[in-house]
Amino acid sequence: MDATAFRVITLAAIGDNPETQATQVQATLYGIIDLLTPAEDGSARARPCFHFSFSEFFTLHHVDAALLLLPWGSRICLNNYGLKVEAFRQTGLYQLHENHGAVADPERMEVRHEAFIADCNLDRRDEAALRGYIKQKYNLDQVITFNPKKYTASKIVPRR
């Protein structure tokens, strides 16, 4: 195999809800959880945290990126744990998607304060330790994990 070749996982999202498929694959590749932090105006701000949960990219260093194909376009998910991150950023494929705002690049998103990265070796089942790491790394007073699929709601209906 050519040592200079890039390895890219490709998903063709089709069917009833391709955007949901692509979002689920992206969340699995990156282990994304939304974190809520206090905003200056007193509200809360949600930002994705890459590698907070179990992440396929965290262990797939030989994979450089994923290309998600949707009926109306495509998206690149860069593996920030890949072995050729900088070289992949120089490719035409990356540049084309970046020019159209269709790249998920955790490191660049972190620099722009659009995302957090849990780049640590903590147990991904220990949310408290991971929140503590994020608080320390980004000098935050408070961090709340926002993962709606972990919570359920119910309504109590009184008997008549």
List per-block mean pLDDT (blocks of 10 residues) for the chain, which spans 160 residues: 86 90 92 90 90 93 95 95 96 96 96 96 94 95 72 44
Q: Is the pTM of this model over 0.75?
A: yes
Beta partners for residue 37, in sequence order = 45
Rounded distance, CA 87 to CA 95, Å?
A: 11
Residue 42's CB: how many other CB atoms inside 10 A?
A: 6
Per-residue confidence (pLDDT) for residue 1, from 0 to 100: 61
Per-residue confidence (pLDDT) for residue 4, from 0 to 100: 81
Per-residue confidence (pLDDT) for residue 156, from 0 to 100: 43
Angle among Cα 116, 121, 123 to the nearest 5 degrees reads 95
For the chain, which residues make up each domain, given as ranges? 8-147
Do 50 and 31 meet the contact criterion of CB atoms below 8 Å apart? Answer: yes
- In terms of Cβ atoms closer than 10 Å to its own Cβ (0-12, 13-18, 19+), residue 119 is middle
